[in-house]
Amino acid sequence: MKLHEYQAKQILSDFGVPTPQGEVVSTPAGAKAVAERLGKPVVVKAQVLMGGRGKAGGIKLAKTPDEVFQAAQDILGKRLVSPQNPQGLVAEMVLVEEAIEIAREYYIGITIDRALQRNVLMVSMQGGMDIEEVAAQNPEAISTVAIDPLLGLTDYAAREALYGAGIPQEQIRPMSALLQGLYRAYIAVDGNLAEINPCAVLADGRIIAADAKITIDENALFRQKRLAELHDESLEDPIEAEASRRGIAYVRLGGDIGVIGNGAGLVMCTVDEVARAGGRAANFLDIGGGAKADRVRQAVELVLMDPNVKGLLFNIFGGITRGDEVARGMLEAFETLEVNIPVVVRLAGTHAEEGRALLQGTPLIPAETMQEAARLIVERARGV
């Protein structure tokens, strides 16, 4: 679950991380009032869950309350579109905060390294840039240190990361303290990402979180009741939000081939096979283990909510998931939903033969292998 910038900054502030003064508002008049209270130049920042806000026109500098009013009026209600989010999101809130004079920008972040099976601390002198871009173009610019799960982020581990990134000696101590606050916040909220980018060094030497991002592990929301209430579905992809309400793992990918499978690994392989066959997956959808007919029907319904879908591929390998139950779910879906696209089905494993028997005589197209299934659905979606 992603948090808005203002929410992330409030959490960091609670753990001793310095942040700019500011307030979040939803009207131009409210923005002007905040600027009048601050009595200094401000930055008006759209609060939308996407990257690239600045280039999309979602961040504006304003020197007077009247300029703040105009900036907020320009942003609020506007659909912001960026390369990270081509569909765009409408800005319903803005953060009005003091403008700061930045002398230098750093990047600091904590996330999970699946290979190491540990949290890792990342520090870079190249702040203000997309860290994925830095990692791809100049990986040696990022200093990475694995965090011991028993000891937490020790002072010496923080210093190791800072020295490795080339942070100047006079900033090591305050930066180390800031990293400790970031780590405590990350652990307290069950985060899987917490980053400050840029971490700004001001002209007077102070270090402050100019921007912040926190993502919370949704599997931990049962013990993060207060944070769960912050979940803003209105600014998420509507299909992903609906899937979340139904407890189904769904990620929209932007292609035109719907993909449904059981098990994250199998679904990812299926997405890759669709690409290898010359197509592009519209989504990732994992119905999970032991899925019953109703869950399969709901999965089909979710995929069909995307108007770009031109074909649907089922790839099921039955273990605890029974092929006949999946087949019943497909039949139920096609009885209750209007399905006007080709559907290819690959069933293997537990009760697969029974499932295939149930599907005989239907418009569903059978396939023996994942590769054949991917090839068939790409061809049928193209009308070949």
List the catalytic residues: 107, 195
Bridge-based pairing of strands 42-46 and 94-98 is: antiparallel
HSE on the CB side for 180, CA within 13 Å? 12
Report d(CA 227, CA 225) in Å as an integer.
Answer: 5
The structure tokens 């932007």 sit at 254
DSSP, res 364? P
Are residues 249 and 49 in contact, defined by beta-carbon separation less than 8 angstroms? no
Bridge-based pairing of strands 94-98 and 257-261 is: unpaired
Report d(CA 60, CA 46) in Å as an integer.
Answer: 9
| Secondary structure of residue 362 in the 3-state scheme | coil
Are residues 2 and 47 in contact, defined by beta-carbon separation less than 8 angstroms? no
Alpha helix segments (H runs only) across 76-194: 131-137, 155-165, 172-188
Q: How far is CA 84 from CA 52, 55, 130, in A?
A: 7, 11, 11
Report d(CA 284, CA 272) in Å as an integer.
Answer: 11
Q: How far is CA 127 from CA 11, 108, 218, 368, in A?
A: 21, 8, 28, 50
Closest by CA to 263, choosing from 243, 283, 285, is 285
Report d(CA 187, CA 51) in Å as an integer.
Answer: 24
CA-based torsion, 177, 61, 47, 133: positive or negative: negative
Does residue 363 have a cis peptide bond before it, meaning omega lies within 30 degrees of 0?
no
